[in-house]
Amino acid sequence: MFYVNLKRFSFTSKHLLALIVLLFLFLIPGLIRDPYIWGILVMANIYAAFGISFDLLLGYTGLAVLGFGLFVGVGAYAAAFLNLYLGMPPWLTMPVSGLIGALFGLIIGVPCLRLKGLYLALASFAAAAICEKLVIVFNDITNGREGLSGLDPISFSNITNYYASLILLLVSTGILLCIVRSKIGLILKSICDEEIAAKAVGINTNWYKLLTFLISSFMGAFWGSFMAHFMMHAGPGVFGMHMAITIFMVTIVGGVSTIVGPVGGAYLLIIMNELLRGIGEVRLLIYAVITIIIYLLLPQGIVQPTIVFVSTGLRKVSNIFRIRNRSVGNSAIS
């Protein structure tokens, strides 16, 4: 199903752009020698991962899961319990939390399958809010509003954290891109566009929706536990509205149903955060206003138009220097 036709592959300006961006991401710690900035970039990678997992649900299956924070929170608390009470190391808690998150995805997903639109959004939101309240009510094991602190960090050096998060993010993005560009992706799109028609041609829509739920909740919980380990803390705030709103702002600004988009959205949010650090608390306000403007003027997000613009530029430059590859015709189409 993930078969890639290597004969059809040709090196276009888009791939050149991707290589440049990747090279840049790997070289950042050498260019900016500031552990504080590295820590900020780890958060960018974490939010990017939340964004792409959310995008799989929203952009490819049309499931507006308002309570996406549920999976993040389950992952964070699962990691905290496994690490603090059972003494599991971080590299083991992350996949296990992912599986626990997928289990929650199954529990929430099965009753939510019949629901669409607003009902799904509110049901998932109610589930997240119930979990948040339960965490506060059972404060003898969850430490209530304070949350659990003192988790093992992934590494004490931010440079290792950065490379770990970057490589994991690349793997996550790669997996999701493979999924959405395979036959499964087409099926998901058909469910998103016209579910009844998809059923009519014999697609088991429920199974594919559940599969999306499972993948997305696994990723959300996996990265939730990564975040808990990185911050060495798991608090009830991860279930809350702010987390959910931030995740979908990142997704919308970057571009819905692109998978790569949310990564750009997350980095934009982080860069803006740094540029506006002097202004302090107004940052979130400005980001919300920018999100609204982008959503009204540029509903497909900022990343896709940027890619088209830059890769066209790159093609023109390479044409000038005659570094043409054998597939000029192909790149013109793409």
Partner 1 sequence: MMGQSGKVGEFEKVVLEILIYGGVASAIYAMLAIGLTLIVGLARVFNMAHGAFYMLGAYGVFTVSVTLKLPLFVAFVLSLLVVALIALLIERVCLRPLKGSLEGTLFMTLILALLFEEIIQLTYGPTPRATPAFIGGRIVLAGVSVPAQRMLVVVVALITILGLWVFISKTKIGGAILSVSQDPEAASLVGVNSKIIIMFVNGLAASLAALAGILVAPVLSSSPTMWLLPLIKAFTIVILGGLGSVGGSILAALIVGYSETIVAFVISPRVSELVTLVILFLVIILRPSGLMGSKTEA
- Contact set with partner 1 (CB under 8 A): 58, 62, 64, 66, 111, 115-119, 121-123, 125-127, 129-130, 133, 137, 241-242, 245, 248-249, 252, 281-282, 284-285, 288-289, 291-292, 295-296
242: its two tokens? 């702010």
Closer by beta carbon to partner 1, 12 or else 246: 246
Shortest Cβ 146–partner 1 spacing (Å): 16
| Residue whose CB is less far from partner 1, 86 or 285 | 285
The answer to whether 38 touches 161, Cβ cutoff 8 Å, is yes
Closer CB to partner 1, 71 or 222, in the complex: 71
Give CA separation, 4 vs 122, 178, 182, in Å: 39, 9, 9
Distance, CA of 54 to CA of 219 (rounded, Å)? 9
Long-range CB pairs of 181-189 (<8 Å, 24+ gap) are 182/1, 182/2, 182/3, 183/1, 184/1, 184/208, 184/211, 185/60, 188/60, 188/61, 188/212, 189/60
Residue 103 Cβ vs partner 1, minimum distance, rounded to whole Å: 18
In the complex, the smallest distance separating the C-beta of residue 240 from partner 1, rounded to whole angstroms, is 9
**Closer CB to partner 1, 32 or 288, in the complex:** 288
Q: How far is the CB of 197 from partner 1 (least distance, A)?
A: 19
The token pair at 144 is 């209530």
Task: Write the CA distances from 131 to 6, 117, 134, integer angstroms.
Answer: 46, 22, 5
β-partners of residue 234 are 148
Q: Which residue, 161 or 246, has its beta carbon nearer to partner 1?
A: 246
Q: Compute the least distance from the CB of residue 277 to partner 1, in Å.
A: 16
